[in-house]
Structure 1
């Protein structure tokens, strides 16, 4: 999970019944079209789907276990949790 990275400005939302993390948009750094699909982390990231809207920026930096959603006026940050233990 630490190996994954997602730097995405959300332009397309996944389907309502999509249990995976199917967001698409523009890479924050390269400005190229991208998605943040990961066979390792997308189930963890999908826990926060209810907080993500079009135009939000999703940031998960490589080497970190913090998943952030940047909105126009707020930043939501979530630490990775497993079996009751919080990892930072």
Structure 2
């Protein structure tokens, strides 16, 4: 006899096991290319799910308050980098997610099993004199000794 917990847990484990296989990277990249989000962050809403990207902000073009509620795992990876007052720029047709801070721009390239976009991360930082400094993080780059 299977307990109530077992009846719930077993199908959940099956779903988790089979839903993580055979990711169609070109199809997924097409979906992400169609999305657009250009918003100044007012409030990051607390979510317990790795799939819920929820925040309140002001649309840059419309200047209207907006609620962003995306079931989007890619966007959720940027939550640790976001703060109130940042501007999110994800343009339609692009596979980059940009966070504009007061003195820094963080650019994240979309990646699907290393197949699309790569795992590069760039940033532009201004020094105290107003000079812009470009930084690139490339996990594939290795120096030969």
Q: TM-score range by the shorter chain?
A: 0.7 to 0.9
Structure with bigger strand share is: 1
Residue in 2 that maps onto 1:60:
90
1:34 offset after TM fit, Å?
1.2
1:18 offset after TM fit, Å?
4.4
Residue in 1 that maps onto 2:35:
4
Residue 21 of structure 1 contacts residue 36 of structure 1 at CA under 8 Å; is this kept in 2?
yes
Unpaired runs of 5+ residues, structure 2, are: 1-31, 119-145
Residue in 2 that maps onto 1:79:
109
Structure with bigger helix share is: 2
- How does the TM-score come out when normalised to structure 2? 0.55
SS in 2 for 1:2: helix
Residue 8 of structure 1 contacts residue 35 of structure 1 at CA under 8 Å; is this kept in 2?
no
Unpaired runs of 5+ residues, structure 1, are: none
- How does the TM-score come out when normalised to structure 1? 0.88
CA-based RMSD: 1.6
